[in-house]
Amino acid sequence: MTKSNDLVLERTLNAPRELVWRAWTDPKLLKQWFAPKPYEISEVEMDLRPGGIFRIRMVGPDGFDTGHGNPGCVLEVVDGEKLVWTSALAPQYRPAEMGEGCESFPMTAVVTLADGGDGKTLYRAVALHRNEADRNVHEQMGFDDGWGKCAEQLEELAQGLAANA
């Protein structure tokens, strides 16, 4: 793994870690925040165990549609702390077919959560790429803005869950 091939987002979220984790692992909740508005997640399919599926379908203005979405593979789950999946593999560790757009390059996502004190969560999302070219494509697609906006939406949702608890 070469650091220059990674894109990293770090935030301190003003929401409890267990609710941030729930928002990541409940498909109904993930649909509410995992696309930067005005984009939306129209479908989520996840089986959160190693070898399980992690698939989303994003739609947006002007007919934008990721189609079926790349059926990525879950690699690691540490309850409440860590979620790792990759688009390089399909479920059950089968090699994935690469398409266009988001599916044109393999990526592994590593999401970690830690207690930040005072009901806050230290949130870190890392997108691992096989080379600098893939990293650059992902960055130019708007990784920083997109994942940053999603982190804000995640925080808002988790705060709402806390308020309704």
The answer to whether 70 touches 85, Cβ cutoff 8 Å, is no
Mean pLDDT computed over every residue of the chain: 91
As given in the structure block, the two tokens for residue 110 are 């590593």
pLDDT value for 64: 81
Average pLDDT estimate for 90-118: 85
Between 69 and 28, the more confident residue is 28
Judge whether 74 and 84 are in contact, CB under 8 Å. yes
- How many domains does the structure of the chain reveal? 1
102 pLDDT higher than 70? no
Percentage of the chain surpassing pLDDT 70? 92
Query: CA geometry: angle at 60 spanning 57 and 65, to 5°?
Result: 45
Tell whether the model's pLDDT for residue 67 goes beyond 80.
no
144: domain CATH number?
3.30.530.20
Q: Within 10 Å of residue 50's Cβ, how many Cβ atoms?
A: 14
Q: How confident is the model at residue 105 (pLDDT cuts 50, 70, 90)?
A: confident
| Residue 69 CA to its chain's centroid (Å) | 13
Strand ranges, E, within the chain: 6-13, 40-46, 53-59, 72-78, 82-86, 89-90, 94-95, 107-117, 120-129
Residue range 3-13, pLDDT digits in tens? 589 999 999 99
Report H helices in the chain: 17-25, 27-33, 132-140, 143-163
Q: What is the mean pLDDT of residues 73-82?
A: 98
Q: What is the reported pLDDT for 2?
A: 44
How many Cβ atoms from other residues are within 10 Å of residue 66's Cβ?
A: 22
For 29, the domain range is: 3-163
The pLDDT of residue 1 is 46
Q: Which of 141, 148, 143 minimizes the C-alpha distance to 64?
A: 141
pLDDT at 99: 64
Are 117 and 97 spatial neighbours (Cβ–Cβ below 8 Å)? no
Contact of 121 with 15, CB cutoff 8 Å: yes
